Amino acid sequence: MDQAIPKRRSGALGDALFRVAAFSAALLVLVLLGAIAISTLIGGYPTFAHFGFGFLSKAVWDPVRREFGALVPIYGTLVTALIALVLAVPVAFGIAVFLTEVAPRRLAVPTSAAIELLAGIPSIIYGMWGLFVFAPFMANTLDPWLSDTLGMVPGLAPLFSGPPLGLGMLTAGIILSIMIVPFIAAVMRDVFRLVPPALRESAFALGATRWEVVWHVALPYTRTAVWGAIFLGLGRALGETMAVTFVLGNSHDFNISLLAPSTSIAATIANEFTEADSPAYLSALIALGFILFVITFLVLLLAKLLLLRLAKQGAR
């Protein structure tokens, strides 16, 4: 009896220390997040104060005349990330379904390992491969075909016009899709494996096909985690730097065509930060960093709200 009291007190002390440590870790993340936002806002404040909202809508980027606009980098960032997401999600979903529903174990294990290895390849390797291998393929094969076919379709012609340079938003979007496929596929594969076997077996017993089991059982059961995987890939695509820098073309000329060179926020900062020879130039680049921070934060906030809504619907 005498020994039980010290043990209970020791356990209570351990719980208290654990709560303090966990709270401190969470608070540290919030402090770092706020410090990053505040520091980039302060650094970019001269640009926001000078140009106002015109900084977001101007397509001019002229460091010599100290005229800066973020429209082209913002457009390039959003378009390349959207292309990457549109291309990567179906492929990642197919990979996850194949690994969990179709492939035998002797094939699923090495394929899963290969997918995880792809996620570990440095982004600069993707960029170099894209510049020296994939961009020439785009210039010689895919870009001319898209320009000759889709470029003649009314309504789509502006998106696929221009010379086949090989460097542009479409090339960057495809490279980004290759990069984010392993992340999305790995998460989808793991959550599909968490579907209770009883649900699968019940669906098969009722005569459901394999695809019906995936679409009507596995996907509804894991839809919250699947959406989380998609937004995880989107966050990676929005902030990618080196791979995009190699293949995007790094042009500040606004062009709606997906085949035309453009730039992104991350690529602009990476390319020009060391060349910022004036406080106004440096402030403009830091302002771009703050805009990228806000875009990423809004995307993740939207993802969180969507996941909460899906969770509530699942509870009902």
Res 13: pLDDT = 80
Which neighbouring-strand residues pair with 249? 262
Q: Tokens for 82?
A: 């959207």
| Contact (Cβ atoms closer than 8 angstroms) between residue 82 and residue 299 | no
Which neighbouring-strand residues pair with 61? 68
Domains of the chain: 53-315 (1.10.3720.10)
Q: Decide: pTM greater than 0.85.
A: yes
Res 1: pLDDT = 46
Which run of H or E residues covers position 68? strand 67-68
3 state DSSP class of 62 = strand
Query: If you compute the radius of gyration of the chain from its CA atoms, what whole number of angstroms results?
Result: 24
Res 232: pLDDT = 84
Res 103: pLDDT = 82
Burial of 292 (C-beta count, 10 Å sphere; 0-12/13-18/19+) = buried
Enumerate residues 6+ apart whose C-beta is below 8 A from 199: 217, 221
Question: Cα dihedral angle (151, 152, 153, 158), rounded to 10 degrees?
Answer: 40
Helix axes 105-119, 169-192, angle to 10 degrees: 130
Return d(Cα 45, Cα 51) in angstroms, integer: 10
How confident is the prediction along the chain (316 residues), in pLDDT tens digits per residue?
A: 455 555 555 567 878 888 999 999 999 999 998 999 999 999 999 999 998 888 998 889 988 888 999 999 999 999 999 999 999 999 999 999 998 888 888 888 888 888 888 888 888 999 999 999 999 999 999 999 988 888 788 888 888 888 888 899 999 999 999 999 998 998 898 888 888 888 888 888 888 888 888 888 888 888 888 888 898 888 888 888 888 999 998 888 898 999 999 999 999 998 988 888 889 999 999 999 999 999 988 888 888 887 777 667 655 5
